[in-house]
Structure 1
């Protein structure tokens, strides 16, 4: 079989994956392995893994069993080992769901705008590219990542539903908020940034009012105007959009359009980065 193109948004709370068959998502909590006296089921994404001497649990299982809480590594860069584990688990879940015979991939993955720099991008490429042997749920897998590219989160979501002219994108994640400006599909650096707060680090959905106010303050720092064309993506897009609409007069969610083998698929705004990354992979790698 040939090489499969995937777009992977390996977020701190959930990973989102897009490819030619559709999309997938799982809880990205990871914790160290221990012997469980009672093996409870916590979710359909429960996983036990072993990779390169490291053993652990992942998915909803890890979010409950992690003795240190959270099961996520927050920060403004994804150049760390947890990103590799999350990406391998994403590839496993995608192939298990849609195409069990696939093992070779071209990837486009994400990095916050603030860390979208050559050295940080190369760290991620070096981390992911090449051959990987991993055991998941007591079954051995060999995955090979042929080509890897790194796109900017938020900005990459543009390709999930491209628009003409100048647009602003607010990508609200669990640990960061990426705010991107694009003009005729070109990223505008001096009107884009990453802000070091997100849904999980700023009180959760219960604190959505304050998160919305923080986003509006961040937009004013970038000199965005109330009348600008603004698109919102991320898992809380539907909850936060009415609050942001009190400030922005022309705001709407990104509705990702995936070019799948079966035709165009429409997905929720939470998949905007993953679908955008897949579209970039499809355009880049063919």
Structure 2
């Protein structure tokens, strides 16, 4: 099964051949449940290599001020891997070909180690059910840039506004343009609702990069900041259906997987 997997810090987004969905990415350490509620669709209790924790909607509900989601300009860490394995645990197959994402500024630096981290056989227990997950192939897409495949145009400047990073990606005729792209290691969860301030910073970076037209915003912060920025929302399209901007990367990753492995 080919899967496009956007392991964002706020929400995990997944695209398969017939399904696009999301749920909270929160992961917290396991703690005693004082009063048990019925588990909802995206409530997860997990065990992985001796580590026990709570994830998904339940983790978002139960986290305290001391719980912190792992952020930063790389996905080369165990929390990202656990998000991936929990997501794959929910899918009907056990054999996968995966495309994940990495912020622009650390893409080349960390790509091979991310592939090494993800590739191979993993075992994880989620809500009491153990599953063997076999990841046969792995590719690492560029956050923001890969989203262009979800609605291709000859020229795109894409601002991918995430919870921990903001990626500025330029794609012209299907080619990523390094000189007009960058990552800022600050996202929606770092700004304490100073939307005007972060919008001003985004516009300053757009000026520094020399962008003039064909500028779109996407990612989880796009809807929040759309009234503060003079740029259009980017609309990903999959299987003839339009989706909201936060799914653009996951759909783009899936499209990469199709090109690589669907013969």
TM range (shorter): over 0.9
**Match for 1:231 among 189, 200, 216?**
216
Aligned residues: 262
Question: Once superposed, what is the RMSD of the aligned Cα atoms?
Answer: 1.6
Q: Distance in 2 between matches of 1:244 and 1:220?
A: 13
Using the TM superposition, give the Cα deviation of residue 216 of structure 1 relative to its aligned residue in structure 2, in angstroms: 0.7
3-state SS of paired residue (1:216): helix
Asked if structure 1 preserves the Cα contact closer than 8 Å seen for 2:121 and 2:135, the reply is yes
1:110-121 superposed matches below 5 A: 110-117=101-108, 119-121=109-111
**Match for 1:281 among 235, 257, 260?**
257
Using the TM superposition, give the Cα deviation of residue 231 of structure 1 relative to its aligned residue in structure 2, in angstroms: 1.5
Deviates more, 1:29-38 or 1:143-152: 29-38
3-state SS of paired residue (1:275): helix
Other-structure match for 1:142: 132
Deviation string 1:247-285 (CA, Å, 9 cap, x unpaired) is: xxxx322211113xxxx2321111000000001111111
**Match for 2:209 among 192, 198, 222?**
222
**In the alignment, is residue 21 of structure 1 matched against residue 1 of structure 2?**
no
Asked if structure 2 preserves the Cα contact closer than 8 Å seen for 1:63 and 1:69, the reply is no
3-state SS of paired residue (2:169): strand
Deviation string 1:156-184 (CA, Å, 9 cap, x unpaired) is: 100110001x3200000001100011111
Using the TM superposition, give the Cα deviation of residue 60 of structure 1 relative to its aligned residue in structure 2, in angstroms: 2.0
Using the TM superposition, give the Cα deviation of residue 70 of structure 1 relative to its aligned residue in structure 2, in angstroms: 4.8
Q: With structure 1 as the length reference, what TM-score do the two structures score?
A: 0.87
Q: With structure 2 as the length reference, what TM-score do the two structures score?
A: 0.95
Q: Any unmatched runs of 5+ in structure 2?
A: none
**In the alignment, is residue 9 of structure 1 matched against residue 14 of structure 2?**
no
Distance 1:137 1:186, change over 3 A: same
Q: Any unmatched runs of 5+ in structure 1?
A: 246-250
Asked if structure 2 preserves the Cα contact closer than 8 Å seen for 1:125 and 1:148, the reply is yes
3-state SS of paired residue (2:190): coil
1:205-220 superposed matches below 5 A: 206-220=193-207
Using the TM superposition, give the Cα deviation of residue 41 of structure 1 relative to its aligned residue in structure 2, in angstroms: 5.6
Using the TM superposition, give the Cα deviation of residue 40 of structure 1 relative to its aligned residue in structure 2, in angstroms: 3.8
3-state SS of paired residue (2:189): coil
Asked if structure 2 preserves the Cα contact closer than 8 Å seen for 1:63 and 1:71, the reply is no
